[in-house]
Amino acid sequence: MDENIGGAGPAIAAHSKDGSASGQTAASGVAPQPKRGDISGETLGRLADQLGEFVRQEPFIAAAVTGVVGLCIGMMLGRR
């Protein structure tokens, strides 16, 4: 099948190749590097997946941990 069917496709492709610069550009050196210990969305997603899998495998332990955490929070708030 012919890739050059029509429209602006070939013109856009040719234009995008004209202004390309090889190597690092000025903007690429300015981008901030992620900090160590910074929790990203990907990390939180993996953590949520692992927690969900644990709850499916060990529902009683997960319920017990949730109850203990709730009891501790309730006791701390009750002392105010």
Helix (H) or strand (E) holding 58: none
Q: For the segment 19-36, what is each residue's pLDDT rounded down to a tens digit?
A: 555 666 666 566 666 566
Position 26 in a domain: no
Position 60 in a domain: yes
Number of domains, the chain: 1
The alpha helices in the chain, defined as continuous H runs, are 9-18, 26-30, 41-57, 59-78
Position 47 in a domain: yes
Q: Domain of 60?
A: 40-80
Position 25 in a domain: no
Cα of first residue to Cα of last residue in the chain, in angstroms, is 75
Look at residue 72 and tell me whether its pLDDT is greater than 90. yes
pTM for this one?
Answer: 0.46
Position 76 in a domain: yes
Position 2 in a domain: no
Q: Are 68 and 60 in contact (CB under 8 A)?
A: no
Average pLDDT, the chain: 77
Look at residue 53 and tell me whether its pLDDT is greater than 70. yes
Q: Are 53 and 46 in contact (CB under 8 A)?
A: no
Look at residue 79 and tell me whether its pLDDT is greater than 80. yes
Q: For the segment 5-19, what is each residue's pLDDT rounded down to a tens digit?
A: 656 655 555 555 555
